[in-house]
Structure 1
């Protein structure tokens, strides 16, 4: 861009010398050169500061690594590479038989557990009846023992009840009391087994319901679908491969269909006056001679060259030798998407601020001249 400005000034000087027949002397040539240094230098400084330009621009996009949630053998890949898909379209299918077998097993276990609930109720009712019977027996034995003990106490030597009979009745009463305690313990166990519930559902049944839901979820995951509208590119998945849910080994890459976003990498000293909403223009190598418009969305608040993470390694001095650039996000005009460029095309970007706005005309002319140069491949 700066070279174009210098060449333009040189062309103007040559034209002036030719048109007005100005002789080439030791005064005229140095004057033209010195004037060029001052004029071109001032224009470059003012434009770079108020209307920055970068030759490092690129359309960016997000890719989604696709991997199955469950492990299985691929039995079908109906998707075609580089064709637009709708959200929910099938990308590939895994063999569902092992997962269907687990679902059938969980359903059988759940049915058995549901049938067990009435049995627990019957056991609880039986335990209650046994407790009531043991309590009645205990009460009867207690009354008999008390009658024998009272008769022995009041009758003394003339009592019709002997000490042995009283002792036997006492032992019968204590035995009945022990049987009642056993029956109450059995009733308590039966009650806890029957009344053990979560949200009104038996705990065993609830546990098996959860396992069945998990098995059904795994079965559903054997069909992998498109997360959004978009397309799959560089498709290498084939029938017979084993797909494994490993984050580091996706089986395909999905490109969502989203609003285009262009990014320019600017020198740090040229972003001082940039702000959200500033008009921008950019050219792409894929369409020589055409200029696209846009607006600044954001100047990214972080620069990657200054990043470090807690990983047990010290930050070396070599990172300070790299000259960093600041990234500026630009929303292109809708017309940009009409050309169906390959995602990630490169180009050059110019941004126009409200300061020294009259110089933006020159920046626009230079950007269009750069776009015309895209017809010449050696310039890239």
Structure 2
């Protein structure tokens, strides 16, 4: 309607003024309700053609969309293990900090495993004390074996020397017995040495390895016990948290709830523009938006990202071939817009539906002097028509609460 009014000012109105003051035709006389078309046909045709051209230019170079939403990411509250809820620490709706315990699962099994691991470490510590005693015992046996061997060797050497000096004074049988005794004492010494080495290896290598394994089992049991305490991963707010003691939660089937991170949905506005505007949308374009949750407010914004893919064309590999006619609705160009001024989205509820406009600016091209006079004038016209869309957005902002509350029939 606004475009028709503007176009009529330069088409229908001059046509009427020409016929009224140049040709002398008067309303109600020569210009009647039945002769309007014949008398003002040039102005009406020009108005319609100019209106269509103006609307096409405005909506192409200054695109608008009602598919704009403050999307926000939610974090599912999912335990790493399945179990029965033992206690819930937050209400149905609550603000939480990172690390706060949201709820706790039944941990009897994990506590038993933790206690078993602690007892195993205590058992290994006791075994290390026993191994130290075994080393001391082996040391004493080693000293005893050394003494017995030395005594037997000295006696053998003495009698062998006597036999050498005075053959026949010492029976040969005694010398042989002493040789056998020395060999036996040497075997006892080797056995005592081996026993000491075995006790030493058990104390310095085997038992420390067993203790390390027990400590690893203790750490694993502690991790399993910690998994029964489900904590908030980020600062945020828990909403509609209806979990209660006795409920069963399973990470593969059922999550416990959702956590909305702090500041989610308060950074950027995601808007879907028609595919025909793919060549127009650029990063850095000035934009405006008005949202239902914050009526009668125009939020200055800027385009920060233009998604280079249309979601309607995505597919997953499978056993079925793609049929193009199954894509019923054409996808949109997803554009992310952020407020120009800090706190621009304050007061806008995340998830709110919005209406957004983006405006093409050719100021830099015109100021560069690289375009001709006619093209420069055309670019000025394109930029100037953005005012019409800005006016339309403000009209929408004024009428949006009325349309929602009165004309929607609710």
TM-score of the two chains, using structure 1 as the length reference:
0.77
| Residue pair 1:110, 1:209 contacting (<8 A) in 2 also | yes
Alignment map for 1:78-117 (pairs within 5 Å): 78-117=89-128
2:279 maps to 1:282 = no
The Cα of 1:283 is off from its aligned counterpart by: 2.1
Measured against aligned partners, the alpha-carbon deviations of 1:118-144 in whole angstroms (never above 9, x if no partner) come to 222222232334344435545555666
2:347 maps to 1:339 = yes
| Residue pair 1:81, 1:235 contacting (<8 A) in 2 also | yes
Match of 1:251 among 226, 248, 256: 256
The Cα of 1:255 is off from its aligned counterpart by: 1.1
Moved more, 264-273 or 21-30: 21-30
Moved more, 123-132 or 186-195: 123-132
2:316 maps to 1:304 = no
Cα separation, partners in 2 of 1:278 and 1:237, compared to 1, 3 Å: same
Query: 2:233 aligns to what?
Result: 227
Moved more, 208-217 or 292-301: 208-217
Cα separation, partners in 2 of 1:303 and 1:215, compared to 1, 3 Å: same
Higher relative contact order (CA 8 A, sep 6+): 1
Query: 1:180 aligns to what?
Result: 189
Cα separation, partners in 2 of 1:25 and 1:110, compared to 1, 3 Å: same
The Cα of 1:16 is off from its aligned counterpart by: 3.0
The Cα of 1:228 is off from its aligned counterpart by: 2.9
Structure with max Cα Rg: 2
User: How many residue pairs are counted as aligned between the two chains?
Assistant: 368
Measured against aligned partners, the alpha-carbon deviations of 1:71-112 in whole angstroms (never above 9, x if no partner) come to 443233342333434444443233455544444444333333
Measured against aligned partners, the alpha-carbon deviations of 1:349-373 in whole angstroms (never above 9, x if no partner) come to 2223432543332221222233344
Match of 2:356 among 327, 343, 349: 349
| Residue pair 2:288, 2:301 contacting (<8 A) in 1 also | yes
Consecutive unaligned residues of structure 2, counting only runs of 5 or more, are 21-30, 363-378
Cα separation, partners in 2 of 1:181 and 1:303, compared to 1, 3 Å: farther
| Residue pair 1:9, 1:36 contacting (<8 A) in 2 also | no
| Residue pair 1:284, 1:348 contacting (<8 A) in 2 also | yes
Measured against aligned partners, the alpha-carbon deviations of 1:292-329 in whole angstroms (never above 9, x if no partner) come to 222223223444344455x5546524389463323212
CA-based RMSD: 3.9
The Cα of 1:275 is off from its aligned counterpart by: 4.2
Moved more, 269-278 or 53-62: 269-278
Cα separation, partners in 2 of 1:172 and 1:265, compared to 1, 3 Å: farther
Consecutive unaligned residues of structure 1, counting only runs of 5 or more, are none
In the alignment, the residues of structure 1 paired with residue 181 and residue 13 of structure 2 have an alpha-carbon distance, to the nearest angstrom, of 136
2:388 maps to 1:376 = no
Task: For residue 316 of structure 1, give the secondary structure of its aligned residue in structure 2.
Answer: coil
Query: 2:384 aligns to what?
Result: 358
The Cα of 1:274 is off from its aligned counterpart by: 4.0
Alignment map for 1:191-202 (pairs within 5 Å): 191-196=200-205, 202=208
In the alignment, the residues of structure 2 paired with residue 302 and residue 179 of structure 1 have an alpha-carbon distance, to the nearest angstrom, of 85
Cα separation, partners in 2 of 1:40 and 1:159, compared to 1, 3 Å: farther
TM-score of the two chains, using structure 2 as the length reference:
0.72
Query: 1:240 aligns to what?
Result: 246
Task: For residue 60 of structure 1, give the secondary structure of its aligned residue in structure 2.
Answer: coil
Match of 1:325 among 312, 322, 332: 332
The Cα of 1:167 is off from its aligned counterpart by: 4.7
Cα separation, partners in 2 of 1:235 and 1:156, compared to 1, 3 Å: same
In the alignment, the residues of structure 1 paired with residue 76 and residue 46 of structure 2 have an alpha-carbon distance, to the nearest angstrom, of 58
The Cα of 1:290 is off from its aligned counterpart by: 2.8
Cα separation, partners in 2 of 1:364 and 1:16, compared to 1, 3 Å: same
In the alignment, the residues of structure 2 paired with residue 132 and residue 306 of structure 1 have an alpha-carbon distance, to the nearest angstrom, of 87
